[in-house]
Amino acid sequence: MLFTAQEKILNVTNTSGEVKFEGTNGYQQITKAVLQKYEENAKTFDCCTYIGDFVDKIIGVPVTWTTNSSGVVTTDNKTIDGNSARALASNETPIAPGIEAFGDYNWMIHNLRLPTLANTYFWSANKSEMPVVGGNYTQFIVRMKADRDGVAGQVVGQRATSVTTHVLYVLDQGSNVSTITTKLTALATPDTDADTVLVDPFRDLND
């Protein structure tokens, strides 16, 4: 019933005897998987009688993983046991991590709150800015700094500095992303590590 109720929730494939289960959207996480077999004599009831039960044959366990600068995930056959990693046992199989989707249509609709009246009413001129169904987007974060006179007021001649953040989502179609990248790179050397930028928000900002 899990495969047929309302909508499909898993993709199941069999390649040369290896069965793979995959989620159908970017928000699913598989944390436990067990293959069981019913055995009639699994448990002892009394001295001469047995009762059946489902016995674990293959146990799925989450494995350790790393990502590179491009977000590509690499896993190995080790799982965390206590405070250290250990190799998988013979009856264990790896569960690869489910990395939450970013920048696809569902993520855009879920996180950016775009279906507002300003975007959806009949005469709206912004319908072209709504996400494209099935599209994938690249996020660009542009931060601008400018010294401003006349807006501070604690001391004579005090200067204020404005820093604004502008977030663009560009449809990954045709030359859209490469064009934006070229234009922004011509203005300043881009940072690709968001954590590095957040440590010092004023670092390497062009006026």
Q: Which pLDDT tens digit goes with each residue over 160-177?
A: 888 888 888 899 999 999
Name the residue with higher pLDDT: 162 or 204: 162
Q: Kindly give, in sequence order, each residue whose CB lies less than 8 Å from that of residue 95, ignoring residues fewer than 6 positions away.
A: 30, 31, 32, 33, 60, 61, 62, 63
Phi and psi (nearest 5°) for 96? -70, 150
Taking the model in full, what pTM does it have? 0.58
Give the domain ranges of the chain.
10-95, 105-199
Distance CA 55, CA 77 (A): 23
Could you tell me what percent of the chain has a pLDDT over 70?
Answer: 82
Residue (of 187, 179, 182, 181) closest to 204 by Cα position: 187
